[in-house]
Amino acid sequence: MKKIYITIFILFIAFSGGTGFSQENKKSVTEMTREELSELSYQDLMNLSLEDLMVVANKFGLSADEILEYFLNKDVTSASKRAEKSINSPLSTTVLSKDEILASGATSIPEALRLIPGMIIREKTNGNYDAHIRGNDNLPPKNMFIYSENSISLVMIDGRPVYNYAFGGSFWETLPVELNDIDRIEVIRGPSSALYGPNAVSGVVNIITLKPEGKNLKTDASVQIGNNSAKLANASLAFGVSDKLKVRLSGNYTHFNRSNDEFYIYDLGRNYPKGALDTMVMWYNPSRSKMKVHENIDEAIPDPSLSLNKYGVNAFVFYDVTKDINFNLSAGLNNSSNNTTTLGNSEFPIAGRDADFKYFDIRSKIYGFSLQANYMMGKQDFQRASKGWDIDPQIANASLEYEKSFGSLVIRPGVSYQSAIYDDTKSLTQEDIDNLNGFLNGAPKITNVAGYIRGDYSFKEKLRLIAALRTDKYNVPSSTYFTYQFISTFNINTKNLVRAVYSRANRGPFIVDSYANYNWQVVPANSDGMAPQLLIWNGSKKLDLPVMDMFELGFRTQPFKNIMIDIEAFQSKTKHFSYFMPDTLDVTLNLATGKAVNSVAHIQYYNFDLASTQTGLTFNISAVLAKNLNLKVFGTFQKTDLKNVYPKNYFNNLAEMQASIPSNPKLQQDGYLLTIASRAQTAQYKLLNGLTPTTEELQAAQLFQTFNATQLGRIGQLQSQGYKETYEVYNTDIENDKIKSSLLENSSNKATPSFYGGFSVSYSPTPKVNAFLSSYFFTSNEIIHSETDDTNKNGYDPIYKIDAKAIFSMKLSYKIYKENAIFINCRNLFNSTSREFAFMDKVYGKYLVGASISF
Amino acid sequence: MKSTILSALLIFYMSCLTLSAQNEKFKALFLYNFIKNVEWPQSAKQGDLIIGILGNNPITKELETITSSQKAGNQSMKVKVFSNVEEISNCQILYVSPGKGSAIPLLISKINGYSTLVVSDSKGGIQQGSGINFLLDGDKLKFEISKHNIESRGLKVSANLLNLGIAVN
């Protein structure tokens, strides 16, 4: 660690030594842009007339207060839906500005979130990330990757939800916008569905895009190249058709290769090249002959070295009709392919995903009314070459809100409608649909009609009370959810604020949980006849939706003009998790041979009594140490207690159900009837042929004569079926659609690190040079994945441990002329290669060089 | 991990010490410009041009940066800090720190007879006798100016400076 700081120190000193470069100062200060003004040296300022000096001071806002306001107390709209200063934000909010994002060198939106407190960001494969707000990872445990990824936070672009309603979560590679489009990212920690709608359970990431400032043509472009074939490029063009009508066009491209091109095979416990996946010997293959691990590996993973390849194109139109009437339209498309976590079960943890989306979004303000409507459609293959995962979304949102002030009270009622259709029929043949080979085999829809109201009352600028209430009526489950947020802030004085939040939020329904209608033919077939050859999955339309309740206390203080400290303590409780489990196993036996002929498992989605209680504290300290030196330090301490954990997974359930088949009463009865009939027959044969039957056979013959018509009929029926009969065994852990409470345990969730945070330092020794150093760290954490459960594998450790990690990143940029710069960008500077996400690739440093132009 | 956090906090606390007041930089630049826009009587154009500062104030450092490289006409400039009114000696310009605003009436009598431009930085400074008074209008740095208070001390003020300031009489 010492070495690291020495290196940083040397780098700082090296750059501090740089001298200022003379400025071309032919333009008058009134004509100069904010950026050009920022380049004026002290000498330039001394040469200015008082008149010009005042222009500079006012135009650039170089008064200390403005600089401090800019860095410490940025405007935030997310929490209040109106612009206000961060210090007054009633919720746990952090704003990341465009300047900070660009200076930091973050290569993607999720990576930039590492600069925000309360975020747990893990890199899976090069450039592909999982982002959690405050955690609640891997719930319920012993599960597939879907449940390790975040599905309880809402990501929005300018208020448009970009959420995966199929089975939850946000796929960062499918966002059409990139960092060059962003004015700021606002993150709200804590349940906020009363303000933002369903899925804002652990928090909200609201990405706000840029609006062109002036009428003049402005062009920005940036390129970066680096190791592992990293190529990042973006460009944008902004211009005003008139003072009222402005347009911005932008495009982005990102490519990263993986650090290796091998795949981890769960069952064999190590990595193999793709070619080997065609011809592996798997431990469970009784013939021990070579077999395919994946049916069509070339289609699933055409390029094993690819990590992420994506592009997006966007157009933004801003039309300000009058001060009180405006229209904003954005439209765009994006395309992505990446190799990252599988979502379902697979022999290896990496799968290919593809997405191709188009969207439009219209937002308008007409006096007190705010209207937003948007539509997104396209193709999304969640797991390439696996039937059922190619599900095309069509998402529509519309909302209308009205804001009215009554003195110190501001009321904002609204209504919204949301519809999400996921259609898998386009990727299936009619035969597939008939055989239920898709997940949905149709185009089911979830809808949500909501009404909400928000009241914001201020008393003498000291006390502020906010209440947000919302009801959501879903089509599945056909029920109404009521969520709320009660918030109060108290300004002790202008520099100290205390606040409290009590809120409830719910997650929305998922298409797959509600509508799954899927026959999964097990390939390769299970060699054990008792083990299911076919899994029939069914969603449930009556699941309770996950709900989080939270109480939070916050304190913000500016002890000095240049320092802002923000502390929040929270406790949240989440319940109504849902998950699928087998409830019935139909085993067809040949009673003549005693062997299983076929086995079919029925799997359905159920609610669990699992409850997760999270207690934590987040701090964030920002300081403007000088105009050219800013610092941030932040971190979160937390623990998660779990109640009512079901210690088994669905493999365990299936194994137990198979084991219970011999004791099935119907099978025992049939076995008894057939045994008696068989022995009686033998007795008869022996007597007819002058042989002596055994005592057992004679007893059977006597017993057989007492059989009634039903018993004889049953024997006849079994004979006519060729002694093949199907027996149903049930999952006895389920009682009244719930898991028996006696089976549940309490534990703690170690999947969320007990501490995570970071710091960043931005330093400009001269106006032309900026060095931005950032660090992100988390303590060790562990997940229990269904594929690592020891009961169905050869003694592998069921817990996948991720070691504690500190990642340092640095961008050094030098402005050659005006805003045109060249830079060196090192992500994971010291090449700390330990894995950040279970089973995924080792994470290597990204070392990039690049240039940006702006004119 | 622990050492990372500790080191981060250490950097943070050490860096706090390097705080520099940006506002004072601009006030110093304004003062330098006031000098360019005010004409002193011949008697005050002899020797160095003294910028007096009443009270400890970060503006001192900023003014020293300016005076080390700039001249007022042919005169070199020097910065002199007075910790109280008693210490005040002859100077061409006297900046009264915000905390010393209440001392203005007293210092006006103390500098009686000197050709001094008094620049205050507190509410009501002009009414108490200063020539120019800084004020923050929202986040903007502005100044009030009294032609009467300046010229009564034998100085001439440019029309430009009067136009740029908020006239208070």
Which residues of B are less than 8 Å from A759 in CB distance? 8, 11-12
Size of interface A-B (CB pairs under 8 A): 100
Residue extents of the structural domains in chain B = 21-167
Contacts of B138 (CB under 8 A, 6+ apart): none
Tokens linked to A474: 């879903």
Peptide bond into A524 cis (omega under 30): yes
pLDDT digits (tens, 9 = 90+) for A723-741: 999 999 999 999 888 889 9
Cβ atoms of A526 and A532 closer than 8 Å: yes
pLDDT of residue A333 exceeding 90, the answer is yes
User: Is the pLDDT reported for residue A617 higher than 80?
Assistant: yes
Residue A9 pLDDT > 60: no
Number of other residues whose CB lies within 10 A of the CB of residue A181: 26
A 412-451: CB under 8 A from B: none
Name which of B52, B130, B117, B118 is nearest B89 in CA terms.
B52
The β-bridge partners of A571 are A551, A615
Q: Which two tokens stand for residue A414?
A: 């609204």
> Cβ contacts (< 8 Å) between A803 and chain B: which residues?
none
pLDDT at residue number A521: 78
- CATH topology assigned to domain B21-167: Rossmann fold (3.40.50)
CB A400 within 8 A of CB A367: no
Selected residue with higher pLDDT from A37 and A849:
A849
| Distance between A626 CA and the closest CA of chain B, angstroms | 5
pLDDT at res. A783: 83
Strand partners, A317: A247, A329
Contact criterion met (CB < 8 Å) for B26 and A62: yes
pLDDT digits (tens, 9 = 90+) for A740-793: 999 999 999 999 999 999 999 999 898 899 999 999 999 999 887 776 544 444
- The nearest CA of chain B is from the CA of A8 a distance in Å of 11
Do A746 and A794 touch, CB atoms closer than 8 A? no
Q: State yes or no: cis peptide before B58, omega within 30 of 0.
A: no
Cα end-to-end span (Å), chain B: 63
Closest approach of chain A CAs to the CA of B57, in angstroms? 15
Taking CB atoms and an 8 Å limit, are B22 and A45 in contact across chains? no
> By CB neighbour count within 10 A (0-12 exposed, 13-18 middle, 19+ buried), where does A115 fall?
buried
Q: Are strands A755-766 and A745-748 parallel, antiparallel or unpaired?
A: unpaired
B20 touches chain A (CB under 8 A): yes
Looking at CA atoms only, how far is residue B97 from chain A in angstroms?
17
Distance from CA of A313 to the nearest CA of B (A): 39
Q: pLDDT of A559-602, one tens digit each?
A: 888 889 999 999 999 999 888 889 999 999 998 888 888 899 99
What digits encode the pLDDT tens for the residues B52-107? Answer: 999 888 889 889 988 988 888 888 999 999 988 889 988 999 999 988 888 898 88
Coil vs helix vs strand at A307: strand
Q: Taking each helix axis as running N to C, give the angle between helix A665-688 and helix A695-705, from 0 to 180 degrees, rounded to the nearest 10.
A: 110
Judged by a CB distance cut-off of 8 A, whether residue A64 touches chain B is yes
Residue at token pair 């154009």: B45
pLDDT band for position A284 (cuts 50, 70, 90)? low
Q: How far apart are CA B44 and CA A174, in angstroms?
A: 72
Q: Which residue of B has its CA nearest to A51?
A: B164
pLDDT of A338 = 96
Q: Give the highest mean pLDDT range of A29-33, A53-57, A297-301, A353-357.
A: A353-357
3 state SS of A195: helix
Cis upstream peptide for A273 (omega within 30°): no
Interstrand relation of A75-76 and A84-85 (parallel, antiparallel or unpaired): antiparallel
Give every CB contact of residue B137 below 8 A, 6+ residues apart in sequence.
none
Are the C-beta atoms of A15 and A8 separated by less than 8 Å?
no
Of B1, B12, B160, the CB nearest to A51: B160
Length of chain B: 169
- List all residues 6 or more positions away from B82 whose beta carbon is below 8 Å from its beta carbon: B52, B53, B54, B55, B88, B89
What is the structure's pLDDT at A23? 33
**Mean pLDDT across chain A, nearest whole number?**
87
d(CA A103, CA A96): 11
CA distance A853 to chain B (A): 29
Please give the domain boundaries of chain A with CATH numbers for all domains: 2-62 (no CATH), 70-260+305-660+735-854 (2.40.170.20), 661-731 (no CATH)
Q: Which residues pair with A642 in a beta bridge?
A: A612, A747
pLDDT in tens, B4-50: 444 444 444 434 333 334 577 788 888 998 998 899 998 888 889 99
Cβ neighbours of B24 in A, within 8 Å: 64
In the DSSP assignment, the letter for residue A291 is: B
Q: Which two tokens stand for residue B66?
A: 């300016």
Q: What pLDDT does B74 receive?
A: 85
- Asked if the Cβ–Cβ distance from A777 to B33 is below 8 Å, we say no
Contact B22 A58 (CB under 8 A): no
By the CB < 8 Å criterion, does B13 face chain A? no
CA dihedral B152, B155, B160, B166 (to 10 degrees): -40
User: Residue range A276-281: average pLDDT?
Assistant: 68
Q: Band of the pLDDT at A354, cuts 50, 70, 90?
A: very high
Residue A97 has pLDDT above 50, yes or no: yes
Instruction: List, in sequence order, every beta strand (DSSP E) within A403-462.
Output: 404-406, 409-423, 445-459
Virtual CA dihedral for A105, A110, A116, A117, nearest 10 degrees? -140
Residues A726 and A110: beta-carbon distance below 8 Å = no
- pLDDT at res. B159: 86
Query: Is the ipTM beyond the 0.90 threshold?
Result: no
Q: Do B1 and A66 touch (CB under 8 A)?
A: no
Q: Counting Cβ atoms within 10 Å, is residue A372 exposed (0-12), middle (13-18) or buried (19+)?
A: buried
| B140 at A interface, C-beta within 8 A | yes
Closest Cβ–Cβ partner in B9, B19, B161 for A625: B19
For residue A276, the model assigns a pLDDT of 76
Tens of pLDDT, residue by residue over A441-463, are 999 999 999 999 999 998 887 89
* Average of per-residue pLDDT across A251-271: 88
B81-93 pLDDT, tens digit each: 998 888 998 899 9
The answer to whether A313 and A176 are in contact (CB under 8 A) is: yes
How far apart are the C-alpha atoms of A439 and A392, rounded to whole Å? 12
Distances (CA, A) of A320 to A216, A324, A373, A631: 16, 8, 18, 37
Residue A564 token pair: 């802002």
Helix (H, G, I), strand (E, B) or coil at A131: strand
Nearest to A808 by CA among B80, B109, B31, B11: B11
Q: What's the pLDDT at A287?
A: 58
How many CB atoms sit inside 10 A of residue B156's CB?
12
Residue A534 token pair: 């076919």
Are B28 and B58 a contacting pair, CB within 8 Å? no
Q: Which helix (H) or strand (E) holds B23?
A: helix B22-36
Q: In a mutagenesis test of the A interface, which of B9, B10, B12, B135 is the best target, namely the one with the most A β-carbons within 10 Å?
A: B12
CA distance A110 to A130: 8
* Lowest mean pLDDT segment, chosen from A160-174, A194-208, A411-425, B139-153: B139-153
Collect all residues of chain B within an 8 Å Cβ-Cβ radius of residue A806: 1, 4
Residue A163: half-sphere exposure toward Cβ, Cα within 13 Å: 33
Q: Cα–Cα distance between A233 and A606 in angstroms, integer? A: 45
CB contact under 8 A, B4 and A621: no
Residue A396 has pLDDT above 90, yes or no: yes
Report yes or no: B26 at the A interface, CB cutoff 8 Å: yes
Computed on alpha carbons and rounded to an integer, the radius of gyration of chain B in Å comes to: 18
Which residues in chain B have Cβ-Cβ distances shorter than 8 Å to A1? 3-4, 7
Asked whether residue A551 carries a pLDDT value surpassing 90, the answer given is: yes
For B26, name the nearest residue in chain A, comparing CA atoms only. Answer: A63
A599 vs A528: CA distance, rounded Å: 10
Using DSSP bridges, classify how beta strands A799-802 and A781-784 pair: parallel, antiparallel or unpaired.
antiparallel
